[in-house]
Amino acid sequence: MMSAIRRLRLFLAPLAIVGLLAACSAEPLIVPLTFQKDIQLPKDVSAPAIDLLTLDPSSGRLYVPHGSANTLEIIDVKSARHIGSVPNLPGIKATALSSDPNIIYTANGSDGSVSVIDVKLLKVLDNIKMGTSADAIDYDPVHGLIIVSLDSTSLGFIDEKTRKQTGTLKLPGKPELMAMDNQQGLLFQAINDKDEVLFIDPVSRSVVKTYRGCDIKSPTGVAFDADQQRLFVANSIAHTANVVSVIDVLLEDCLGTIDVDHSPDQAAFNSHLHHLYVANAGSNNITVIDTVSLKPLGVVGTGKQTATIAADPLTDTVWVAAARSGIIAKYHDP
């Protein structure tokens, strides 16, 4: 079990206060991210809905689940242009990469299927029926498995070679987002209504460890810094500012918490800079955190409903979905 919690509360001042202090001092205000460009997605006939972003550094593509249009949108990272759409993906929620840079998998929320997509041909190759609804999805590169959250109750597993379901794992509560330890092929799964994160072996489809305490409450986004062996858990208690819980998974020790803002959702990690980016949907901003020093580096304002985010460690760019406007915003760190 985890050792006693050592609270490390790091205060993150609102931008207005930081700006005032900077104006009164000789030190200039340091902005943690630099805005570069807005990319408008194809127009919706109804209110736009954009879900979990996935960026593939090797192919230079950003994958955008455009749920309100039932399409996968593809953005070229280098040119920051929309380069294609794949239709007929009912209620698409998220995407997972694979060993082939031209093949990805989509979790389709409306019918519980997982679609196999050739992103070069913009074509659906296969549909795998998994449940009645599907949400978060990720890829285990060590074992060649696709892992998808199903029906708010379980995880489903797909062999990428056969494209067949290999089994399921019943969960103790409602799953939120997940993160892979790509070196060991192990999964961290947030369980929102149980205030815990599960450490899961995808091969045996079993829970290896359960992380509780460390101010983990209503966890949503999770990210893992493999170099530091640190797990970051974005907590999302309604109607209040929240914290990111930090756990040393090697020592099974709580390293403390870092303040973020309202309704944090997806978190993205830059392995080059060792920076964590937390999309705070309730306050329309991004919190930037140094995962080595565990210090907050600042807050950047965004468009409305900025719940999903991705980072590219090769270009140090950060991509944020402003769902209300149907826009993907590109930033650079710093």
CATH of 57-212, one of 3.40.50.10170, 2.130.10.10, 3.40.50.1950, 2.60.120.10: 2.130.10.10
Of 98, 96, 28, 41, whose CA–CA distance to 68 is shortest? 41
- 1-24+216-334: CATH architecture: 7 Propeller (2.130)
* Structure confidence at residue 112 as a pLDDT band (50, 70, 90): very high
pLDDT in the model for residue 149: 98
CA-atom Rg of the chain in angstroms: 19
What does the alpha-carbon distance between residue 206 and residue 219 come to, in Å, rounded to a whole number? 20
Amino acid at 296: P
pLDDT in the model for residue 68: 97
pTM above 0.75, yes or no: yes
pLDDT at residue 217 above 70? yes
Which residues, other chains included, contact 73 with Cβ-Cβ below 8 Å and sequence gap of 6+?
41, 42, 63, 64, 65, 66, 82, 84, 85
What residue segments make up the domains of the chain, in order of their start? 1-24+216-334, 57-212
Segment 122-160, tens digit of pLDDT: 999 999 999 999 999 999 999 999 999 999 999 999 999
Tokens representing residue 268 in the block: 């993205």
Which residues, other chains included, contact 143 with Cβ-Cβ below 8 Å and sequence gap of 6+?
185, 202, 203
pLDDT in the model for residue 29: 59
What does the alpha-carbon distance between residue 17 and residue 14 come to, in Å, rounded to a whole number? 6
pLDDT at residue 315 above 80? yes
Kind and range of the H or E element at 73?
A: strand 71-76
pLDDT, average across residues 36-54 = 95
pLDDT in the model for residue 45: 85
pLDDT, average across residues 161-180 = 98
pLDDT in the model for residue 14: 41
pLDDT in the model for residue 328: 98
CB 277 within 8 A of CB 309: yes
* Structure confidence at residue 1 as a pLDDT band (50, 70, 90): very low
Contacts of 8-11 spanning 24+ positions with Cβ under 8 A: 8/246, 8/255, 8/256, 8/257, 8/258, 8/294, 9/243, 9/256, 9/257, 9/259, 10/256, 10/257, 10/258, 10/259, 10/294, 10/295, 10/296, 11/259
